[in-house]
């Protein structure tokens, strides 16, 4: 299909302007591609109609041809529907955080609970306990106990058939024993039925969970949307875990779930091993669903041309001594998009890939700094010296951003460091730069 799409694109290429029939031609290919990814057909219809409208209004970016531009619009739209970024888990401020899993039998609840437990312990340093409340299949409790043993997480179970009672007692036990997060395993069925739903509704009432996580097997394709909706209508899921992405499915389920039920997909699971679990990546999923790897690579390359212009402007700003917090924010966004400052510097002739100079700032820091900058007045953003002069300004900004004054000072240092770095480098000789690059 990919090559068919490229053919369609080539037909458009070379023309200056994108007209409606060009878009229609591309949209036929996009529609086929989505259906091949097993996206729900209603979702496909709605989606392509929306995108078509967007594509018509869109200016063609420098560095892209019209066909590529259409694919870019489609890709961006897929990304934005599935959420630009993964939605993080919620936690209680005080007391125990409870996660309840729901989903059809075999969708991967029990396995995902194990994985989530490992993930929470590793990334959040939480003390986690599981409650085995799938009382219909004795093997289900055994399965959770086995997983718990394997990863060293305690499993609460009772030799009884009353899920409601187990959950109630389990939560009390967790409280007494200082657990911070409790994950409840529940019963699923092969199909949704009344009795199961009622039990889940009761357990929900009892546990008042922080999050209700719906596991959906990605291999169920377009049925996923309907399954998700049925659960969601009665239980209000707060997030979904998409499982079995290691299979050969293109992952159309992700789009269908999001479009039909609105539940944000929070995690993806891709294997039987406990470490095959990670936050959902909308970008990667969009590419996978479109299934046009080569076309997207092409677009990425073309988009770099735009980045190059921007990077050059940015460097000029940095060298001009007028570099302010507006510029810094712009730079953060650029770095976030392009991956690293060394990549931006790489566009500047003679600077190559200066790895040493590439200060490693992670995403969390970026976000924090962005918040601090947004708490500044317009004048402060444009004139960093205002903040340097008055400690009352620093205090006000810290308060507004909900951070400490030392965080504000770190940001000031970051601005200075960037300016200094560029100055140092612009004074270096070609040889110095080459040496730096080698280190
Ligand atoms: P539950 O009935 O919803 O609790 O589902 P289980 O956790 O018992 O999973 C059902 C089957 O799917 C088991 O054989 C799991 O090993 C398997 N499974 C779960 N998640 C994944 C996954 O991400 N990838 C693969 N390949 N298998 C999975
Ligand atoms: Mg299970």
Q: pLDDT by residue (tens digit) across 117-139?
A: 999 999 999 999 999 999 987 79
Q: Which of 16-30, 240-254, 377-391, 401-415 has the lowest mean pLDDT?
A: 16-30
Q: Does residue 170 have its Cβ closer than 6 Å to ligand 1?
A: no
Please report, for the chain, the start and end positions of each structural domain, with discontinuous segments joined by +.
2-81, 97-282, 295-438
Joined tokens for residue 41: 């057909």
pLDDT of residue 134: 93
| Tens of pLDDT, residues 148-168 | 999 999 999 998 889 999 999
C-alpha 256/C-alpha 42 separation (Å) is 9
Neighbours of 228 (CB within 10 A): 25
Q: Which CATH architecture has domain 97-282?
A: 3-Layer(aba) Sandwich (3.40)
Alpha-carbon torsion 23, 28, 29, 34, what sign?
positive
Task: Round the average pLDDT of the chain to a whole number and report it.
Answer: 83
Pairwise CA distance, residues 69 & 72, whole Å: 5
Instruction: Quote the DSSP letter at residue 361.
Output: -
- Which atom of ligand 1 is least distant from the CA of 269? 23
Q: In the chain, pLDDT over 90 holds for what percent of residues?
A: 42
CA 278–ligand 2 middle distance (angstroms): 20
Distance 161 CA to ligand 2 centre (A): 15
Nearest atom in ligand 1 to the alpha carbon of residue 247 is: 26
Which of 107, 108, 218 has most ligand 1 atoms within 8 Å of its beta carbon, as the pocket-test mutant?
108
* Cβ burial, residue 184 (10 Å; 0-12/13-18/19+): buried
* 291 torsion bin: left (phi>0), alpha (psi -120 to 50), beta (else): left
Give the highest mean pLDDT range of 14-18, 132-136, 149-153, 187-191: 149-153
252 alpha carbon – ligand 2 mean position (Å): 24
Give the distance, in angstroms, between the CA of residue 155 and the centroid of all CA atoms in the same chain: 30
Q: Which residues pair with 279 in a beta bridge?
A: 267
CA angle 411, 83, 295 (to 5 degrees): 100
How many percent of the chain have pLDDT more than 70? Answer: 79
The Cα–Cα gap between 270 and 290 comes to 19
Q: Rounded CA gap, 188 and 134, in Å? A: 8
The alpha helices in 193-324, defined as continuous H runs, are 194-207, 223-235, 252-261, 282-290, 293-319
Between the CA of 110 and the centroid of ligand 1 the distance, in Å, is 7
Mean pLDDT of the 203-231 span: 92
Atom nearest to 185 CA in ligand 1: 4
Q: Which residue would you say has higher pLDDT here, 352 or 85? A: 85
pLDDT (mean) for 324-350: 66
Ligand-binding site membership of 48 (annotated): no
Note the pLDDT tens digit of each residue in 255-266: 989 888 899 999
Query: Residue 201: is its pLDDT beyond 90?
Result: yes
Nearest to 414 by CA among 339, 327, 342: 327
| 186 strand-pairing partners | 133
Beta-carbon neighbours within 5 Å of ion ligand 2: 109-110, 140
Supply the pLDDT for residue 306. Answer: 62
> Parallel, antiparallel, or unpaired: how do β-strands 265-269 and 277-279 relate?
antiparallel
pLDDT at 112 over 70: yes
What's the CA gap between 122 and 269, in Å, rounded?
Answer: 16
Q: Look up the CATH architecture of domain 295-438.
A: Orthogonal Bundle (1.10)
| pLDDT at site 350 | 42
Residue 50 pLDDT level (bands cut at 50, 70, 90): confident
Residue ID of nearest Cα to ligand 1 atom 11:
106
Burial of 274 from C-beta contacts in 10 A (0-12 / 13-18 / 19+): middle
Give the pLDDT score at 359: 46
What is the rounded distance in angstroms from the CA atom of residue 285 to the CA atom of residue 291? 10
97 vs 364, more confident = 97
State the average pLDDT over residues 231-242.
94
> In the beta sheet, which residues pair with residue 156?
131
- Say whether pLDDT at 230 is over 80: yes
Ligand 1: nearest atom to the Cα of 103:
3
Fold classification of 2-81 (topology level) = 1.20.120
CA of 240 to the centre of ligand 1 (A): 15
| Ligand number, closest to the Cα atom of 102 | 1
Per-residue pLDDT of 385-425, as tens digits, reads 999 999 999 999 999 999 999 999 999 988 887 777 766 66
Ligand 1 pocket residue status of 272, Cβ below 6 Å: yes
Query: How many other CB atoms are found less than 10 A from the CB of residue 30?
Result: 26
């Amino acid at each position: 299909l990919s090559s068919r799409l490229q053919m369609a694109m080539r037909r458009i290429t070379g023309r200056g302007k994108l007209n409606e029939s060009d878009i229609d031609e591309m949209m036929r290919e996009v529609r086929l591609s989505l259906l091949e990814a097993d996206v729900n057909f209603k979702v496909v219809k709605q989606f392509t109609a929306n995108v078509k409208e967007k594509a018509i209004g869109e200016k063609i970016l420098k560095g892209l041809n019209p066909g590529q531009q259409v694919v870019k619009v489609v890709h961006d739209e897929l990304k934005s529907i599935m959420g630009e970024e993964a939605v993080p888990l919620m936690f209680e401020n005080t007391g125990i955080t409870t996660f309840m899993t729901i989903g059809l039998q075999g969708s991967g609840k029990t396995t995902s609970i194990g994985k989530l437990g490992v993930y929470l312990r590793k990334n959040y340093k939480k003390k986690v306990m599981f409650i085995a409340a799938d009382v219909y299949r004795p093997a289900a409790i055994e399965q959770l106990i086995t997983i718990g043993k394997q990863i060293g997480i305690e499993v609460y179970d009772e030799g009884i058939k009353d899920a409601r009672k187990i959950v109630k007692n389990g939560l009390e036990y967790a409280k007494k024993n200082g657990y911070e997060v409790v994950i409840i395993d529940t019963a699923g069925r092969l199909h949704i039925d009344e009795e199961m739903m009622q039990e889940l509704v009761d357990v929900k009432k009892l546990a008042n969970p922080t999050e209700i996580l719906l596991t959906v097997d990605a291999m169920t394709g377009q049925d996923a949307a309907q399954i998700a909706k049925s659960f969601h209508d009665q239980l209000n899921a707060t997030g979904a875990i998409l499982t079995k992405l290691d299979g050969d499915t293109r992952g159309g389920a992700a789009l269908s779930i999001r479009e039909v039920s609105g539940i944000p997909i929070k995690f993806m699971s891709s294997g039987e091993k406990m470490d095959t679990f990670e936050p959902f990546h909308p970008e990667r999923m969009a590419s996978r669903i479109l299934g046009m790897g080569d076309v997207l690579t092409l677009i990425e390359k073309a988009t770099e041309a735009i980045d190059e212009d921007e990077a050059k402007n940015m460097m000029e700003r940095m060298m001009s001594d007028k570099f302010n917090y507006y510029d810094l924010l712009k730079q953060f966004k650029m770095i976030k998009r392009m991956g690293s400052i060394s990549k931006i510097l790489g566009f500047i002739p003679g600077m190559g890939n200066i790895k040493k100079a590439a200060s490693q700032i992670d995403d969390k820091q970026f976000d924090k700094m962005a918040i601090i900058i947004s708490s500044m007045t317009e004048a402060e953003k444009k004139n960093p010296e205002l903040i340097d002069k008055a400690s009352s300004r620093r205090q006000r900004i810290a308060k507004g951003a909900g951070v400490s004054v030392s965080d504000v000072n770190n940001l000031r240092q970051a601005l200075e460091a960037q300016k200094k770095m560029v100055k140092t480098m612009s004074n270096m000789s070609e040889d110095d730069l080459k040496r730096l690059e080698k280190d």
